[in-house]
Structure 1
């Protein structure tokens, strides 16, 4: 995945000598990457997004073929509706996963029907899901702003 031969060789040599700890290996890679960019300013264009590309390749879930070609498959994006159950895909905090109850997950029907016995509880659960989603988005925005600021400060020439 590393298009720069010199950088790839540096990374391979360093990682061969390292223990198996993935965190240490990642930190070493980031350190090598940063120093390589400082020394080779002309490489910035070619490998500017290398870190993000590696994260996407190895860390993000992959969609199977049926999900990408079939219109009936649920992509599980926030607040999408499952076609058979009518359940709303809600955002939740991982620490609360064990406490979740499927019957408390809002359905499109209970949210739209004011006379539904579950309406009030499901409305509250949706508010919590929206709040959780906003927290995720805000934390991602903050992390990206910090990353951009740190990236820019590394290459400022005074």
Structure 2
């Protein structure tokens, strides 16, 4: 009858743009991609769709899960869920297609423009570009150049970056220098056209925009690990993530079941709240105060409203049509 609207984002889907890890492995250099995904999607779910009861959870190995628990989200049909998921569809990954993001139209959709200006552009320029050394070698920058639709512009940059014009190469971090050269070329002079200027945004979206497992969100019967369960391989607990402080979340510091058992065996007081004295304490408090209690309050209000409405309808049915003076 009902099911939370869920989203699944796995770090392994970013393997073509991260060079520090691959597969299920994550580190503090690539994990910020999950931080970006949380910021972009949490803002859109709240501001664009009006959802309130959203829980972000560390999947305990390679990504994050999002549970949207508002009553109207829980009652969405599969078709409606697919429509919500398609709202976030930008990245069209394909091994046979060098260009995985196509931003059409004279201007960006307001959601995409907000995501780009407030999150993606800053993260790409300040952290990801140098953190992953995206333009440091020929192998890496040859993944970016095919995104440029103008072959002459791409060839000119390739020639410059290969060192054929060493006298024109400024000193500094090659990633920053080459990125500035790319932007200057596509935003000015003979290459200053809408398609090429938009290409800069497409590169940033290709490398940083959230990559969703779309099928997880489209169907009510898809399985997903519940919050606070234990991952069978890592032994770590699926803890909630505060979207307002997601930059501070460290996946390498998430408590494991063995650590929790050791804490309990060392003399944690036996009481109903014993887990709050362990490494899970802060996660449990956040789950209760920021998610569970507001959700329960919302459910009670909705239930009380339905009771009042049912009572009103019952009285009308049993007393005949309301008089003309009735409100």
TM-score, normalisation: structure 1 = 0.46
For CA contacts below 8 A with separation 6 or more, give which structure has more relative contact order.
2
Q: Which has more strand, going by share of residues? A: 2
Of Structure 1 and Structure 2, which has the larger fraction of its residues in helix? 1
Q: In terms of Rg, which structure is larger?
A: 2
TM-score when normalising by structure 2: 0.25
